[in-house]
Chain A
């Protein structure tokens, strides 16, 4: 599903350049649930940005679902993001003046679904995350865990190939964290490829594979016994 070969990335900081990714090789197959771990400065955010087509590497190749991702302009990147990827963020990033249902329906708007179709589909996904009853509520009327579940429903609505979760439990307490991770496990069990960026070991252990980054290189890549919730 995801194939990264010899990926390098450096940032210009004035006269000196900061080498962030120093040759990443990563192969992720369909249906995997991968945790990307690392302390801050390890390059995990940069890797996620490149995976999410929000940034591009300097050298090396990135193939997503047999499509070579290269030289994307903003419009093309937006199209690919919409087609291939679902995002889940630490801070949920729901649009605060739209109801849960409308938030879930928003990516479908950009795919050109009719209003009726997208609301119907959005409701299905809200049901899937157990929030059908809350469809008409605004984000500020929901708890943190509920918000993250709405965000997950939203990321699933376009039926993406890969789900990218950037610290999905970072803003949640341990109990809700588990609920959210359980949801992620369930979605994964239905066959969706999911990448979770985290710095918490217990969250990483709820995945099937852990990729450990340090100073821009992968220092460890192992399959783990998944803690099933």
Chain B
């Protein structure tokens, strides 16, 4: 079946029927190419989505104080709840099994000056573990550590864009900035994938902030991270236990939803993941559609090719070609062409995708890619359907009596 003679015959046919070869080859190459590009773009869209929405740690709860809406244990309703430092220690002591880390976050605006430059920024007074909650990446220097907390150091870690605004090309590490009329030493510069706003933040130890505000022990809100190995169900258990515990501690009625708010990123994560899987579904759908169009294209071409060759096949049959050899020849030829051009289209598509990289960032397409497996699978699918689409008319042509085929002028 795969003798050298057969190959010779096929090469000869291919090289002498350029249009036909070009049509079927081009269809397959184009089909695969478009499939790879679209599928890759879909994946790029997913990448962007992941970067935007799945930036922060996903195993965290945000706890906000609110106002009670019901009287309870002798307290009137409409009472403002405040978190204090002992909330941090209580949670640490009561939930060691669930807790990964906990950090307060006190957010304040501040006018920040350095030399002649000044600007308004948001500051966050936090504990060291806040770095994990926000996935803050240190570019230079270091983040706030436990020692800074204990000694209430006047240290700040500034965002990349804060550094650009105030320092330009100057190295900010060790320099002092004026933050609401107090001098702070810059100990680090960070970047964050969450976007520009996240890089215009200034972090400082929460104890420093408390000392500044008349040495109180209030904290705005808390970020609590659970151990991710607990899974979604474990996180839910933790959430309800934590909620009950804090309500009890702050004398809030168990059915009062307004005293403390709890935002669970695990829930949000689930939503985002659902959205991502819908995106994936759309990508798959687009890919399948393209592939289907390619299959229809190659099928049409194959039907046309066999139709065009009906007479030639009749001649071959009159000269002694068996039906098997006629079908074999057509399939061999079509599979050879589609395989060659299919993989050419695949390689071209992957090359173009790689070329794009992050050039299409503005269109929310980031690092488009396609799994090698998916690409090869799609190519084989087209080859297979090209062969099937060729086989059916070839079989019919091989059955036609040569005399009928020959009279088909």
A223 within 8 A of B: no
As a 0/1 sequence over residues 2 to 25 of chain B, the CB contacts with chain A under 8 angstroms (1 = contact) are: 000100110011001100000000
* B401–A55 touching, CB < 8 Å: yes
* A106–B319 touching, CB < 8 Å: yes
A225 within 8 A of B: no
* B17–A89 touching, CB < 8 Å: no
The answer to whether A78 and B409 touch (CB under 8 A), given A55-B401, A95-B315, is no
Interface centre among B312, B314, B320, B399 (most CB of A within 10 A): B320
A134 within 8 A of B: no
Instruction: Count residues of chain A with CB under 8 A from any CB of chain B.
Output: 29
Task: Write out the residue numbers on chain A whose beta carbons fall within 8 Å of the beta carbon of B17.
Answer: 97
Closest residue of A by beta carbon distance from B326: A78
* A154–B324 touching, CB < 8 Å: no
As a 0/1 sequence over residues 149 to 160 of chain A, the CB contacts with chain B under 8 angstroms (1 = contact) are: 000001000100
B77 within 8 A of A: no
As a 0/1 sequence over residues 95 to 133 of chain A, the CB contacts with chain B under 8 angstroms (1 = contact) are: 101100010001101110011000000000000000000
A52 within 8 A of B: yes
As a 0/1 sequence over residues 307 to 342 of chain B, the CB contacts with chain A under 8 angstroms (1 = contact) are: 000011011111111111100000000000000000
A5 within 8 A of B: no
* A110–B321 touching, CB < 8 Å: yes
* A154–B406 touching, CB < 8 Å: no
20 contacts between A and B (CB under 8 A): A49-B401, A52-B318, A52-B403, A54-B403, A74-B322, A74-B399, A75-B322, A75-B323, A78-B320, A79-B322, A83-B320, A87-B319, A91-B406, A93-B314, A93-B318, A97-B16, A98-B12, A107-B320, A110-B319, A110-B320
Nearest first, the 6 A-B pairs at minimum CB distance are A82-B320, A110-B320, A107-B319, A97-B16, A78-B322, A75-B322
B398 within 8 A of A: yes
Task: Write out the residue numbers on chain B whose beta carbons fall within 8 Å of the beta carbon of A199.
Answer: none
A178 within 8 A of B: no
User: Once bound together, how far apart are the Cα atoms of A89 and B322, in whole Å?
Assistant: 20
Contact residue range for chain B? 20 to 34
* B16–A78 touching, CB < 8 Å: no
A81 within 8 A of B: yes
User: Once bound together, how far apart are the Cα atoms of A115 and B8, in whole Å?
Assistant: 9
A84–chain B nearest beta-carbon distance, Å: 10
The answer to whether A106 and B316 touch (CB under 8 A), given A91-B409, A97-B13, is yes
Task: Write out the residue numbers on chain B whose beta carbons fall within 8 Å of the beta carbon of A95.
Answer: 312, 315-316
B205 within 8 A of A: no
Interface residues of B in 351-409 (CB under 8 A from A): 398-399, 401-403, 406, 409
User: Once bound together, how far apart are the Cα atoms of A98 and B316, in whole Å?
Assistant: 12
* B5–A115 touching, CB < 8 Å: yes
* A110–B311 touching, CB < 8 Å: no
User: Once bound together, how far apart are the Cα atoms of A97 and B21, in whole Å?
Assistant: 14
Closest residue of A by beta carbon distance from B398: A74
Closest residue of A by beta carbon distance from B409: A91
A104–chain B nearest beta-carbon distance, Å: 10
User: Once bound together, how far apart are the Cα atoms of A158 and B399, in whole Å?
Assistant: 23
As a 0/1 sequence over residues 185 to 222 of chain A, the CB contacts with chain B under 8 angstroms (1 = contact) are: 00000000000000000000000000000000000000
Task: Write out the residue numbers on chain A whose beta carbons fall within 8 Å of the beta carbon of B315.
Answer: 93-95
Task: Write out the residue numbers on chain A whose beta carbons fall within 8 Å of the beta carbon of B317.
Answer: 78
